[in-house]
Homo-oligomer: A and B are copies of this chain.
Amino acid sequence: MTTRPEFESQASGLLFPEIREILRTAPGELPELTEELHPADLADLVTRLEEDEIRIFFSNLPVDRAADVAEYVDSSLQAELVTSLDPDRAARIVSAMSPDDRADILAEMDPGPAAAILARIALPQRRETQLLMGYEPHTAGGIMTTQFVTLPLATRADHALELVKVAAADKETIYTIFVIDREEKLTGVVSLRELLVADPTQRLADIMNESVVWVTPETDQEEVARLISKYDILALPVVDEGSSMLGVITVDDRIVVGTGPLHPAGALHGGKLREPVGDPGHPGARDR
A residues sitting closer than 8 Å to B (CB atoms) are 1-2, 7, 36, 38, 40, 138, 164-165, 168-169, 174-176, 185-187, 189, 191-194, 196-197, 209-216, 219-236, 239, 243, 251-263, 266, 268-280, 283-284, 286-288
A274 in contact with B233 given A176-B288, A220-B269, A223-B269 (CB within 8 Å): no
Closest 10 CB pairs between A and B?
A211-B275, A223-B271, A229-B257, A261-B261, A234-B288, A213-B273, A1-B243, A168-B196, A165-B196, A225-B258
Bound CA–CA A178/B41 (angstroms) = 23
| Pair B255/A258 contact, Cβ less than 8 Å | yes
B270 A213 Cβ-Cβ under 8 A: no
A256 touches B254 (CB 8 A): no
The answer to whether residues A279 and B193 also contact, given A221-B259, A227-B273, A266-B226 and a CB cut-off of 8 A, is: yes
B223 and A270 contacting across the interface, CB-CB below 8 Å: yes
23 pairs from A and B in contact (CB 8 Å cutoff): A1-B185, A1-B239, A138-B259, A175-B288, A192-B192, A193-B288, A194-B279, A209-B275, A211-B275, A212-B274, A212-B275, A212-B277, A213-B274, A215-B271, A223-B268, A223-B271, A228-B257, A231-B277, A231-B278, A232-B288, A233-B278, A251-B251, A261-B261
Are the C-beta atoms of B232 and A273 separated by less than 8 Å? Answer: no
Indicate if the CB atoms of B193 and A273 lie closer than 8 Å. no
**What's the nearest-Cβ distance from chain B to residue A165, in Å?**
5
Number of copies of chain A assembled together = 2
SS class, residues of chain A in contact with chain B: loop
Residue in B189, B197, B254, B276 whose beta carbon sits within 8 Å of that of A211 in the complex: B276
Complex contact A256–B259 (CB within 8 A): yes
Q: Are A277 and B233 in contact (CB under 8 A)?
A: yes
Closest B residue to A280 using CB positions: B209
**Which chain B residues border A255 with CB–CB below 8 Å?**
257-259
